[in-house]
Amino acid sequence: GQSLEQPSEVTAVEGAIVQINCTYQTSGFYGLSWYQQHDGGAPTFLSYNALDGLEETGRFSSFLSRSDSYGYLLLQELQMKDSASYFCAVKGNDMRFGAGTRLTVKP
Amino acid sequence: EAQVTQNPRYLITVTGKKLTVTCSQNMNHEYMSWYRQDPGLGLRQIYYSMNVEVTDKGDVPEGYKVSRKEKRNFPLILESPSPNQTSLYFCASRATTLGELFFGEGSRLTVL
């Protein structure tokens, strides 16, 4: 079957760096995506890795290692507005999500 | 503006009363899917569709039906809703070759 594992909660202070890990087991894999969801809102796309390595988009970076079935989202220079839930998602023929990591940024 | 539109946004209904949640996208995406979100469980896939007339079950399809007669529309049908289907539902779409999923604003359904 398919499964994705990510920590349920992470807490960090403003200005810090935080890494959210995601490990997956899947029968078909094309890439790993990351989404952000604020309370009461819809998930929004952050990044997508189809190949091994690091993808950087502003303060956010995402990494993938296909051989380890592992990826992470790195958030730098944390701001209060980054407090949200973050989901990793595996793209196969469909798109399956992890249970999400709730990030709390404290002043 | 590229968007996924789902309706209704909020609905309170009673057990057994059939309902349909509509979903429409204007990006000509081949892939569309439905998710339900419950506290602590993340986004669980109900059904997905790779293209017109092609649908497949996700992780939690019981009690739901879908159809994909047109590329832009992917309605979710609850033939006989039950209280355990009370949830927040999201419709999403993407181009087949890309990794970005576009979400609708969500439909909060309460079944009494």
pLDDT in tens, B77-109: 999 999 999 999 999 999 988 889 999 999 999
Mutation for testing the B interface, residue in A9, A30, A45, A62 having most B CBs under 10 Å: A45
Spatial separation of the C-alpha atoms in residues B63 and A90, rounded to whole Å: 25
- Which chain A residue shows the shortest CA-CA distance from B32? A94
* Mean pLDDT of all residues belonging to chain A: 95
Helix (H) or strand (E) holding B98: none
pLDDT at position B6 over 70:
yes
Burial class (CB in 10 A: 0-12, 13-18, 19+), A9: exposed
Given this model, what pLDDT does residue B49 score? 97
Of the candidates A43, A93, A97, the beta carbon closest to that of B50 is on A93
Q: Chain A residues with CB inside 8 Å of B50's CB?
A: 93
**Minimal-distance CA residue of chain A relative to B40:** A99
Average pLDDT on A3-19 reads 96
Please report the pLDDT score of residue A28 as a whole number.
85
Cβ–Cβ of A97/B44 closer than 8 Å? yes
Give yes or no for B92 touching A (CB within 8 A): yes
Percentage of chain A modeled with pLDDT above 90: 89
Q: What is the pLDDT of residue B96?
A: 83
According to DSSP, residue B52 is labeled T
**pLDDT of res. A27:** 83
On the question of pLDDT at A58 being above 70, the answer is yes
Name every chain A residue with its beta carbon within 8 A of the beta carbon of B99. Answer: 30-31, 33, 48-50, 91
A69-84, pLDDT tens digit by residue?
999 999 999 999 999 9
Q: Which chain B residue has its CA at the smallest distance from A38's CA? A: B105
pLDDT category at A93 given cuts 50, 70, 90 is confident
A1 pLDDT more than 70: no
Do residue B92 and residue A33 have CB atoms under 8 angstroms apart?
no
B104 min Cα distance to partner chain A (Å): 7
**Can you tell me the mean pLDDT for B31-38?**
97
Is B103 close to A44, i.e. CB distance below 8 A? yes
Cβ neighbour number for residue B111 with a 10 Å cutoff:
20
pLDDT value at B22 more than 90: yes
Each residue of A18-56: pLDDT tens digit? Answer: 999 999 998 889 999 999 999 989 999 999 999 999 999
Looking at chain A, the whole-number percentage of residues with pLDDT higher than 70 is 99
What digits encode the pLDDT tens for the residues B39-77? Answer: 888 999 999 999 999 999 999 999 999 999 999 999 999
